[in-house]
Structure formats: structure tokens, C-alpha cells
């Protein structure tokens, strides 16, 4: 099972110490927000965002993307509003989290509508910030 300490060690190869602290702060915030939530496997929910962040760290993604990976399910799966993320982590991170959440929520009737809709959602997200797509792909 991945740990925040192992991730921090990996990040030290390409990020500054203060950037690593920001990523760790996002981890602890998400861990608290997801307290009491579990995966189907029985693991604490925080294992999933940590795994997404690990994937992004292998691509040497920036601190904001890593923070968004940690927080990507906070808006949709907890009582934390987007405004709280803006306050805690800034506009950029909260917009990335919001973008990933929006990619998840739209439902379609037919397979063709779903494919067209997914393409449209991805195109819109890329126009705003390609990192939304990268975080979402790591979330799969």
C-alpha cells in the first residue's frame, strides 16, 4: 500500500521542499475529509487519491496537479465545498479539482451520446487546463 512518506521521498527528486509540504498538506486535508470512508477492498478511501498522486508523480507533474489528485474526490464525496478548497489551496487547485469532478458527473442515454459527450467534456477541460484531463486519466 502506498504511503505519503514514500510519495514525499519520490517527489524530493524533482520538487522543492515547500512544494512537497503543500502536497502533503493536501493529503492530510483529504485524509481528514474522507475519514470513515472505505474502498470496496476495505482499505481507507485515502489510498485511492494517494495512488492517483503516485501515478502523476511518475510523470513528474507539478505540485498543483498532485494536490488536485489528493483532493479530486473531496468536493463530490464529502461535505467540503469548493470554496473551502479555494481558501485552503488556492484558485488553481480548486479549479483542477472542480474540473475533474465535472468530468465525472454528466450522464448520457446512448453509447453514441456518451462517447460524444465524453469527447466534448474532455475538449472543454483541455481548453481550460490540460492538467484536468491528466488527473482524470490517472484516476481511472
Name the grid cell of 121: 467534456
Residue that the C-alpha cell 478548497 belongs to: 85
* Candidates 73, 77, 87, 129; catalytic one: 77
Q: What is the DSSP string of 75-91?
A: HHHSS--HHHHHHHH-H
- Is 112 part of the annotated catalytic residue set? no
Q: Note whether 30 and 71 are within 8 A (CB).
A: yes
Which of 76, 83, 112, 113 is catalytic? The answer is 76
Integer Cα distance of 16 and 64 in angstroms? 13
For the question of residue 5 being annotated catalytic, the response is no
DSSP H helical ranges for the chain: 4-11, 17-33, 47-58, 63-71, 74-77, 82-89, 91-105, 111-128, 130-139
Q: Annotated catalytic sites, by residue? A: 76-77
Amino acid at each position: 500500500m502506498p504511503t505519503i512518506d514514500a510519495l514525499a521521498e519520490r517527489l524530493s527528486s524533482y520538487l522543492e521542499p515547500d512544494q512537497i509540504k503543500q502536497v502533503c498538506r493536501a493529503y492530510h486535508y483529504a485524509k481528514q475529509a474522507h475519514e470513515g470512508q472505505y474502498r470496496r477492498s476495505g482499505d481507507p478511501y485515502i489510498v485511492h487519491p494517494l495512488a492517483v498522486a503516485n501515478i502523476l508523480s511518475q510523470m513528474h507533474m507539478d505540485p498543483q496537479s498532485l494536490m488536485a489528485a489528493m483532493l479530486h474526490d473531496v468536493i463530490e464525496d464529502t461535505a467540503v465545498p469548493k470554496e473551502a478548497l479555494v481558501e485552503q489551496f488556492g484558485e488553481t487547485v480548486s479549479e483542477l479539482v472542480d474540473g475533474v469532478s465535472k468530468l465525472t458527473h454528466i450522464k448520457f442515454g446512448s453509447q453514441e451520446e456518451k462517447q460524444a459527450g465524453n469527447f466534448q467534456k474532455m475538449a472543454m477541460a483541455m481548453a481550460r487546463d490540460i492538467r484536468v484531463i491528466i488527473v482524470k486519466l490517472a484516476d481511472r
